[in-house]
Chain A
Amino acid sequence: QSALTQPASVSGSPGQSITISCTGTSRDIGAYNYVAWYQQHPGKVPKLMIFDVSNRPSGVSTRFSGSKSGYTASLTISGLQAEDEADYYCSSYTSTSTLVVFGGGTKLTVL
């Protein structure tokens, strides 16, 4: 069982917006503004999409945005495109001895 909870799957049609949630506790998401999101296509290497809750690395589309409220972080993808279909993972610092925890991943299907 992963430390951070993500929905197993979400779906949306091209052009729509979707949001993926990532729920933690007072020891991780609730304690730090160090949430990251990764995109991983099948058989490919994870790609950093968001860091420090809401920052986009250079080259990442502005269609991707991140936010946090309380113990829940969110990744929103607007103007959904076929190429966005992938697995998405969140991560956060944690005050436990493990230091960093990931969510279990969410499979995004573009209908």
Chain B
Amino acid sequence: EVQLVESGGGLVQPGGSLRLSCAASGFIFSGSDMNWVRQSPGKGLEWISFIDKNADKKYYADSVKGRFTISRDNTKNSLYLQMNNLGAEDTAIYYCGRGPAGWQDHWGQGTLVTVSS
């Protein structure tokens, strides 16, 4: 069974940093492209980043470019999102998703990031 488990969310002050993790199991992680998608409370979905299976290609939404960095460790079956210079607009549930950037066939349960003073 495919499982994706996010962690690392929490309350952070404006301007602060957080590192999210996504632990994968039940599939060949090293053979899978991965994404981060977020959802602000009561709002819609927003794709924010993609990384291919070898970490050769990385893409970001304009809203996070220059502040967020996606990475992965295929030896640990883990995906990461380093988030810097966080603002209130970054408050959201962050999901990791397996698949190409265009669609994700499996999602984790999400981790909540709250940016507030």
A binding-site residues for B, Cβ under 8 Å:
2, 32, 34, 36, 38, 40, 45-48, 51-52, 57, 89, 91-93, 96-105
User: In the bound complex, what is the Cα–Cα distance between A38 and B101 (angstroms)?
Assistant: 14
User: In the bound complex, what is the Cα–Cα distance between A64 and B62 (angstroms)?
Assistant: 32
Chain A residues positioned under 8 Å from B110 (CB to CB): 45
Task: Say yes or no: A57-B44 contact (C-beta < 8 A), given A45-B110, A98-B62.
Answer: no
B binding-site residues for A, Cβ under 8 Å:
37, 44-47, 50, 59-63, 65, 95, 99, 101-105, 107-110
Q: Which residue of B lies closest to A87 (CB)?
A: B44
Structural contact, A36 and B45, CB atoms closer than 8 A: no
Top 7 A-B pairs, shortest CB-CB distance? A36-B103, A100-B47, A34-B102, A51-B103, A105-B44, A45-B107, A102-B45
Chain A residues positioned under 8 Å from B37 (CB to CB): 46
Q: Which residue of A lies closest to B59 (CB)?
A: A99
Task: Say yes or no: A100-B101 contact (C-beta < 8 A), given A89-B45, A91-B45.
Answer: yes
Among B95, B107, B109, max chain A CB count under 10 A is at B107
Chain B residues positioned under 8 Å from A101 (CB to CB): 47
B50–chain A nearest beta-carbon distance, Å = 7
Chain B residues positioned under 8 Å from A40 (CB to CB): 45
Structural contact, B101 and A93, CB atoms closer than 8 A: yes
User: In the bound complex, what is the Cα–Cα distance between A105 and B37 (angstroms)?
Assistant: 15
Chain A residues positioned under 8 Å from B104 (CB to CB): 46, 48
Task: Say yes or no: A91-B103 contact (C-beta < 8 A), given A45-B108, A45-B110.
Answer: yes
Q: Of the candidates A89, A93, A98, which one forms a contact with B61 in the assembled complex, judged by CB atoms under 8 Å apart?
A: A98
Chain A residues positioned under 8 Å from B46 (CB to CB): 102
A38–chain B nearest beta-carbon distance, Å = 7
Structural contact, A52 and B45, CB atoms closer than 8 A: no
Structural contact, A91 and B108, CB atoms closer than 8 A: no
Structural contact, A97 and B47, CB atoms closer than 8 A: no
Given contacts A2-B44, A46-B104, A93-B101, 19 further A-B contacts (CB under 8 A): A34-B103, A38-B45, A40-B45, A46-B107, A47-B107, A48-B104, A51-B103, A51-B105, A52-B102, A89-B45, A91-B47, A97-B65, A99-B50, A99-B60, A100-B47, A100-B61, A100-B101, A100-B102, A104-B44
